[in-house]
């Protein structure tokens, strides 16, 4: 997981995060694709897979970046250096402009020491209903992979929940997340090859996989229309 990770995919509705297996506990992100959808483009560099039903509002990302950077006491230059992204890119994102990919947001989150969800999740009302295809989505610029955040970790808790959709094609390769991150994945349709990058496991419908998200991990759909639920723990 995931986006430091090449860090979340979507089918006809747009969402995806993947998880992969390993002998240790961790969680991974799932691929998703919707290149045939008649929907709007996501905030990633243009490619064959950047079509989804909705996007994470740039205004939310901008406010989150400013808040977390101020909390960490980092300048734009220092954060850019730690995250390995251009200072101009950070400046654009904080101004609610730009086209951030999953990889960029994951890298920034790791540099700030916060979960990916804290950068894309809008304020949550007391009562919340998320209809299918309506949650914020971000896509990878490297694979058929998109992530849709369903629930972020509230104060005192340590989990983020994602609905993943994957399609066969390039594997979703993720770099280590924050230390202590664990990813849990349950396949709901199709089959996937997921888990630690050097020891992936094939999983099918009803299979549960848990692995260390703070180690390199991967996820790849083995059948069209593969879907899964992923829970990412932050310990």
Report pLDDT for 135. 72
CATH 2.60.120.10 for domain 1-235 = yes
Helix (H, G, I), strand (E, B) or coil at 70: helix
Q: How far is CA 164 from CA 51, 130, 225, in A?
A: 15, 15, 10
pTM greater than 0.95: no
Mean pLDDT by 10 residues, the chain (235 residues): 42 37 34 30 34 61 92 94 92 88 89 87 58 75 80 71 92 90 90 92 88 93 95 85
Task: Answer for the pair 175, 4: CB distance below 8 angstroms, yes or no.
Answer: yes
Report pLDDT for 210.
87
Distance CA 147, CA 6 (A): 11
Tokens 């994602």 found at:
162
Query: CA–CA separation, 15 vs 139, rounded Å?
Result: 8
50 burial class (0-12, 13-18, 19+ CB within 10 angstroms)?
A: buried
pLDDT value at residue 6: 40
By three-state DSSP, how is residue 216 classified?
Answer: coil
In this prediction, residue 155 carries a pLDDT of 67
SS3 191: strand
Helix H or strand E segment including 202: strand 199-204
Extract the runs of DSSP E, i.e. beta strands, from 43-96.
none
Phi, psi of 200 (to 5 degrees): -70, 155
The sign of the torsion formed by the CA atoms of 228, 104, 176, 156 equals negative
Q: Where are the domains of the chain?
A: 1-235
């Amino acid at each position: 997981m995931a986006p430091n990770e090449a860090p979340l995919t979507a089918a006809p509705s747009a969402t995806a995060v993947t998880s992969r297996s390993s002998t240790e506990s961790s969680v991974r992100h799932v691929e998703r694709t919707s290149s045939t959808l008649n929907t709007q483009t996501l905030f990633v560099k243009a490619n064959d897979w950047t079509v989804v039903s909705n996007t994470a509002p740039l205004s939310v990302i901008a406010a989150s970046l400013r808040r977390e950077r101020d909390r960490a006491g980092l300048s734009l230059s220092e954060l850019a250096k730690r995250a390995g992204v251009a200072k101009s890119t950070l400046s654009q994102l904080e101004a609610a402009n730009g086209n951030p990919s999953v990889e960029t947001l994951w890298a920034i989150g790791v540099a700030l020491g916060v979960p990916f969800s804290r950068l894309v999740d809008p304020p949550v009302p007391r009562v919340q209903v998320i209809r299918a295809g309506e949650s914020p989505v971000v896509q990878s610029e490297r694979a058929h992979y998109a992530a849709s955040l369903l629930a972020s970790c509230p104060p005192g808790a340590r989990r983020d929940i994602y609905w993943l959709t994957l399609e066969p094609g390039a594997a979703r390769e993720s770099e280590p997340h924050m230390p202590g991150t664990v990813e849990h994945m349950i396949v709901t349709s199709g089959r996937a090859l997921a888990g630690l990058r050097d020891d992936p496991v094939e999983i099918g419908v009803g299979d549960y996989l848990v692995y260390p998200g703070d180690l390199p991990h991967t996820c790849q759909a083995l059948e069209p229309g593969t879907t899964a639920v992923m829970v990412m723990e932050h310990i």
